[in-house]
Structure 1
Amino acid sequence: KYFQVTMKLPSLYLRPSLLMASLVIQLITVVVASGGGSGTTSSTAAAAAAAAPTKKYNAMFTFGDSMDETGNICVGSSNKTELNVLTCTHPPYGETYFGRPSCRWCDGRVVVDFVAQALGLPLLPPSKAKGKDFRRGVNMAITGGTAMNFSFYKSLGIENLVWNHGSLDTQIQWFKELLPSICGREQSCKGYVRKSLFMFGAYGGNDYNVQLLERGLTPEQAMNYTPKIVGAIANGVVKLIALGAVHVVVPGIFPTGCLPIFLPLFGDGDADLDDAGCLKAYNLLPPDQVPQLDAPEAGGSPPAEAPQLDEAHVRGLLRPRVPDGPGAPQVWV
């Protein structure tokens, strides 16, 4: 019962993000730098997001974990007992949009659903679904997805503590296997992929959760793994670029100290909380873990006609609930 409640509550926290994402989300390209700048308010971000120019994409391809899941954990399992244990297969999940559980860890649509609809694309089918048309997009995200591979957790001796059905590299492999059915030969695919949008993550949340919840590390200790996690994400972006991708959104993770499962476990009174009611110590984990890629590694400089998207756009579209501060990702439209 407690598990069901804690898995339900994160969707309530996501609702402001869904509202912002449903503004006009004419999205973004390859994230190639992480830099600072002055803060902006959420109202400014909303206005900036609404003013963004419209972009047309062939398709949208998404990767990630339960925050982006649209059904892979369900269609990829034939074990009815396992499916019954998943709370996302029971009411009240899905009640506000589908009217039934849709294997999304949410009361309705997840963020990538709003992005797809804002761009005039269909809701993306899970990559493990049979008999679906993936030419307008497909979702590789799966519950428990991590930035780090299984071998990393095995090297720490904690492979039995990780519920991982598809790491970042595994999801990229799924995508590569699907490409011929989406766009044919390699040369044709490069052109098709170039005009498609990629939502890559957010990755890293489950990697930190394992360290905090299963290993009992402090936030400071868990942050020792940040370089490895960010490195894995950066390598994943480079792999997508090698496949022809030029429009890639790399969001940061949600503030860990705001996740409902952490509040009763690690909170001990108001002194532990910030003004938003989140655990201050656990919000030390980096919500801005967007990898920095040098221009040559990312495939060169952006096109001359591509204006730089300012912080207001990024905050409005990707992180409306995260406090303003240095380190906001910079991207191009």
Structure 2
Amino acid sequence: MEVQVLVFLLLSFFISSKLWVSSADPGGRFKSIFNFGDSLSDTGNYLAVGAPRFPLIKQLPYGETFFKKATGRSSDGRLIIDFIADYLGLPFLPPHRKLVGGPYVKTGVSFAVFGATALDPDFFYSQNLGPTLRTNDSLSIQVGWFKKW
């Protein structure tokens, strides 16, 4: 499982890096971030889809330290993606699932979902591991959301 997480993080970083580069102006200043991943960078997508297997993130202490309210982040403060956005002078990324049918955000969006995997859920179900999944929103699902967005 640890190898899978490492591969997922590397893929997330690679995809995010490619998108950051493509969204930079000629002066090198970044205009937007599009983030893919799991709980390490989920800014509220899991909560927006109902948090079926880990509902505690919708209440304090999650979000307490920095935001002073529950945010849907799997942290009591900011996530690494929040620090990256802050460093680049961009606002914190809204969760994509809260924006469906809503406004287009030019400064970026987080597609990351708590418990997401790099492999599709079909693989886990074929190995009789499906019930262990926290979500079916794998990397390919997140990329699909991005393509439709």
Q: TM-score, normalised by structure 1?
A: 0.35
Aligned length in residues: 124
Moved over 3 A (4+): none
How far, CA to CA, are the matches of 1:121 and 1:165 in structure 2? 29
Alignment partner of 2:37 out of 60, 64, 75 = 64
Q: 1:64 is matched by which residue type in structure 2?
A: G
1:91-170 to structure 2, matched below 5 A, reads 91-130=60-99, 131-170=102-141
Q: Distance in 2 between matches of 1:101 and 1:118?
A: 23
Per-residue deviation, 1:158: 1.7
Q: Map of 1:8-19 to 2, 5 A cutoff?
A: none
Q: Which residue is equivalent to 1:76? A: 49
Mapping for residues 190-201 of structure 1, pairs under 5 Å: none
Residue 73 of structure 1: CA displacement?
1.1
Q: Which has the higher contact order (CA 8 A, sep 6+)?
A: 1
- Report the residue type matching 2:56 in the other structure: T
C-alpha separation between the residues in 2 aligned to 1:137 and 1:107? 22
Pair member with larger Rg? 1
- What secondary structure, in the 3-state scheme, does the structure 1 residue paired with 2:96 have? coil
CA contact (8 A) 2:120 2:136 kept: no
Letter in 2 for 1:168: L
CA displacement 1:32-74 (0-9 Å, x = unmatched)? xxxxxxxxxxxxxxxxxxxxxx941121000000111101111
- Distance in 1 of aligned mates of 2:81 and 2:141: 20
**Structure 2: segments with no counterpart, 5+ residues:** 1-15, 19-26
Give the drift of 1:75. Answer: 1.6
Q: CA RMSD for the aligned pairs?
A: 2.1
Q: In 1, distance between residues paired with 2:44 and 2:146?
A: 16
* Sequence identity percentage: 35
Corresponding residue SS for 1:128: helix
Task: Classify 1:144/1:29 alpha carbon distance in 2 versus 1 (closer, same or farther; 3 Å).
Answer: closer
Contact 1:93 1:104 in 2 (8 A): yes
Letter in 1 for 2:37: G
Question: Deviation at 1:110?
Answer: 0.5
Aligned residue in 2 for 1:177: 148
Q: TM-score, normalised by structure 2?
A: 0.75
Q: Distance in 2 between matches of 1:169 and 1:124?
A: 20
* 1:164 CA displacement: 2.2
